Structure 1
Amino acid sequence: MRGGAVAVVGGSIAGSAFAGAAARLGAERVVVLERSPGRLEDRGLGICTHNDRFAELVDAGHLAPDTRRHRLTVRRWAARGPAGEGDGPHGRGRPLWLQPFPFHSHHWAVLWQTLREQAPESVEYRPGTTVTAVGGDRDGAWTEQADGTRTPYDLVIGADGYRSVVRAAVCPQAEPEYAGYVCWRGSYDSALLDALPGGAAAWPEEECATVCYPGGQVVLYRIPGFDPGSTLVNWVFYAPTPDWLRLDGPTAVAAGTLTDEQLDGMREFAARQLPPYWAGVIALTPRERTLLQPVYDLATPYRTAGRLLIGGDAATVVRPHNTSGAVKALQDAHAFEQAGRRLGGDTWAPLLAAYDRERSAAGLELVNLGRTLGRAQVTGAPDWSAMDEPAMAEWWRGQLGGGGGFGGHALGRAG
């Protein structure tokens, strides 16, 4: 048993998973330091897990079998016809391809809550705790808070996202790189769809829609609501960088803070580029449920330094095209835990080295796949008017290059 005290900086999906892993590996004390002052239920965005990856994580004990989720079976690719021609009776666009899509969709906060509830009772959560610096060496580590308080630990795990304080100490040369475009995001009660021509029935519940236009696309699917039995619409709209956006390092425009001009500009752009039904889906989104996230890439050449370790988005930021973000975070924690079980012993050092070898390589592969998908689908997208089902299937195979990674690697796969 390794024993000692472990701090996890960041209490979201990755942080909760790492905290549980550290406790099961024998840490006498696990403290999760989360800067948000309350619980994280307001993070109502959608994420997806491939059916196989979800089953693997359930079998490994990281997810509960009854985790609430929404079943998706098909991805409908579409584009606007010339002058709106071929958009169909409800204005859903010209069909390009019906792609098999064996995924579950999730409400971020519901998945987080499941992980939080599964954490051992010994894990201590401290919301409203801002870590401003970390450090350490081969013998120990420490965290420092905004008031200057410094606390020693045997291990500090950074699960504090793409603006990670821990990454700055582990791998200071690694910085997020802007991909050159943004994603607008939104979610709302699916009952609002009844206001559109054709209503909710025009869009089958098991369908993930990907609607393409020159220079971008919007991906739309339903997710479980935070309240059991409810369903939300969730969408991600890849678009050019707005003229007003100032990129002063990795940032986002939070839900509810967009001005009328900014919000109207996005909705008008959607109306010009998308078939009417999908532009209407976006226009229904309330201001308080609409946000903007610039798209970034980040790959760290290594993930550990002394008694510091990073995982989740602190270690790799992968473009959403991969549909692998939550799986990546959970697999990082799984690799950490499995390395500890495989190596045994009573120290943390061998575990950290094994984790670093496995997950640094896997993370880089996912980042590279995200870049490939981004070029193929956004910045270097084909002429959609010339695409049909055979051409789409060939185009998709070319993006994957015969390898895996879309939806995440199989659990336990190294490299």
Structure 2
Amino acid sequence: MRGGMIAVVGGSIAGCAIATAAARAGAGEVVVLERTRGRLQDRGLGLCIHDERAVELGASGALPEGIAAHPLRQRRWVVRDDAHGTGGRVIWEQPFPFHSYHWGLLWQGLRESVPDSVVYRQGETVTGVEESGTGTPGAGVRLANGSVERYDLVVGADGYRSVVRAALCPDSRPQYAGYVCWRGNVDAGRLADLGSVADSAPEAVTTVCFPGGSCVVYRIPGPDGPRVNWVLYAAPPQDGGLRLDDPTSFPAGGLTPELAGHLAALLDREFPPYWGRALALTAPADTFVQPIYDMETPRAAAGRLVLAGDAASVVRPHNTSGAAKALQDATALADGWRRCGSFEELLRGYEETRGAAGRELVALARRLGRAQVERTPPWAGMNGGEMEVWWRGQLGPATGIGGRAMTP
């Protein structure tokens, strides 16, 4: 299929990947509408992509070469046990074939790969999307200034609060999972100040286990050198001042005293001393809180509307699949564009493959969240064999985390 005008609503990771894929596949005109005016690359969060997914996405062109990544090889599950030193006691180790990324550096690499033919417009807030009337195929995009632009296809890559999803699946809204995550990162060089060898394996992911939650710690590349990224899942304090009716996080540097105090008390009470001190090195400006939500949609495409990334399915982060899923969505759209002879055929094939994939990821992440936060087991009394059985019980029909290979 050749030609056609496409609007991509959202210009972060999913949006850049979709725009690049569509342009390379033969779309006539691609316009990206990104509401943020500032520097997206300033977002310093960490994320991971499974090695097998990275190979697949590199071959498709969705994951450009040369983006900084840090190799990870194993995952260590630890509990506080003062008899085993400040680093805690390792209760299980498992393979962890992933590479970690800095969100901003990954976005920058994807943005630089967007072809010059794509029009990338920042500061454009889309307030609504509507399909054209009978006999006029296409969709209209309504902007904040009141104008409406017409396109042959509109792709929603606009995340949790997608206006494209509101048009395609008006009854699908993110639902609060009952807990939050604290997130942050710190210069990896500062760990040397702690005087311990607990972090002597930089290719290992450490999961600190405690009643009612867990925390994942791993290294990521940073603009100025390696950093230690951490994500801590637990229920929030009742008086923390969080809004739990919207999946918008407290921005970095915006923690209330109640939230900061709750985090400090949790680290002191539940964490092995080394890991509590390591997280406490994070400056308030690099720490924030995000309520955890999830959502599945009954469809990912219909008419002339398509959903990609978090707009199509909001998956709890436990599955470590968000970036890979967004890049797979872009790959699927490009494959369909090259293969199909009409928009109707394109969207039908996309729905068959990517709709089901998104719903599977939501279901798996819910199981992981229940087991690792909502209904935590007696970790301190478990051995490696019991941990492996527990882990397999979470996976269910899935073979692992990080997403699965794409369906042709």
TM-score by length of structure 2 reads: 0.95
Give the structure 2 partner of residue 398 of structure 1.
393
| Contact kept in structure 1, 2:181 and 2:292, CA below 8 Å | yes
Shift of 1:226: 2.1
Deviations 1:253-299 (A, max 9, x none): 11111133422321222211111111111111111110111111111
Give the structure 2 partner of residue 139 of structure 1.
137
Q: Kindly, what percent of the aligned residue pairs are identical? A: 55
1:277 aligns with 2:274: yes
Amino acid at match of 1:327: A
Amino acid at match of 1:285: T
Q: Which one of the candidate residues 329, 333, 351 is aligned to 2:330? A: 333
Amino acid at match of 1:388: N
Secondary structure of residue in 2 paired with 1:31: strand
Shift of 1:405: 5.0
Give the structure 2 partner of residue 43 of structure 1.
43
Q: Any stretches of 5+ residues in structure 1 without a counterpart?
A: none
Give the structure 2 partner of residue 55 of structure 1.
55
Amino acid at match of 1:40: L
Give the structure 2 partner of residue 193 of structure 1.
191
Counterpart CA distance in 1 for 2:261 and 2:214 is 18
Amino acid at match of 1:314: A
Q: Any stretches of 5+ residues in structure 2 without a counterpart?
A: none
Counterpart CA distance in 1 for 2:271 and 2:400 is 29
Give the structure 2 partner of residue 8 of structure 1.
8
Give the structure 2 partner of residue 318 of structure 1.
315
Deviations 1:75-122 (A, max 9, x none): 0100112xx332x2xx11111111111110000111111111112111
Q: Which one of the candidate residues 168, 171, 179 is aligned to 1:170? A: 168
Counterpart CA distance in 2 for 1:314 and 1:147 is 23
Amino acid at match of 2:379: W
Q: How has the CA–CA distance of structure 1 residues 64 and 249 changed in structure 2, closer, same or farther, with 3 Å as cutoff?
A: closer
The runs of 4+ residues in structure 1 deviating greater than 6 Å are none
Amino acid at match of 2:31: V
Pairing of 1:76-95 with structure 2 (within 5 A): 76-81=76-81, 84-86=82-84, 88=85, 91-95=86-90
Counterpart CA distance in 2 for 1:54 and 1:213 is 32
Q: How has the CA–CA distance of structure 1 residues 360 and 17 changed in structure 2, closer, same or farther, with 3 Å as cutoff?
A: same
Q: How has the CA–CA distance of structure 1 residues 217 and 203 changed in structure 2, closer, same or farther, with 3 Å as cutoff?
A: farther
Secondary structure of residue in 2 paired with 1:316: coil
Counterpart CA distance in 2 for 1:217 and 1:95 is 14
1:212 aligns with 2:209: yes
TM-score by length of structure 1 reads: 0.94
Shift of 1:250: 2.4
Shift of 1:339: 1.5
Counterpart CA distance in 2 for 1:22 and 1:273 is 48
1:350 aligns with 2:345: yes
Q: How has the CA–CA distance of structure 1 residues 308 and 258 changed in structure 2, closer, same or farther, with 3 Å as cutoff?
A: same
| Contact kept in structure 2, 1:39 and 1:127, CA below 8 Å | no
- C-alpha RMSD over aligned residues: 1.5
Give the structure 2 partner of residue 236 of structure 1.
231
| Contact kept in structure 1, 2:26 and 2:338, CA below 8 Å | no
1:116 aligns with 2:111: yes
Give the structure 1 partner of residue 377 of structure 2.
382
| Contact kept in structure 2, 1:10 and 1:32, CA below 8 Å | yes
| Contact kept in structure 1, 2:53 and 2:324, CA below 8 Å | yes
Shift of 1:402: 4.4
Deviations 1:352-376 (A, max 9, x none): 1110111111111110000111111
Give the structure 2 partner of residue 75 of structure 1.
75
Amino acid at match of 1:69: A
1:18 aligns with 2:12: no
Shift of 1:204: 1.7
Q: How has the CA–CA distance of structure 1 residues 101 and 405 changed in structure 2, closer, same or farther, with 3 Å as cutoff?
A: closer
Deviations 1:357-399 (A, max 9, x none): 1111111111000011111111112101221111111211222
Amino acid at match of 1:168: A
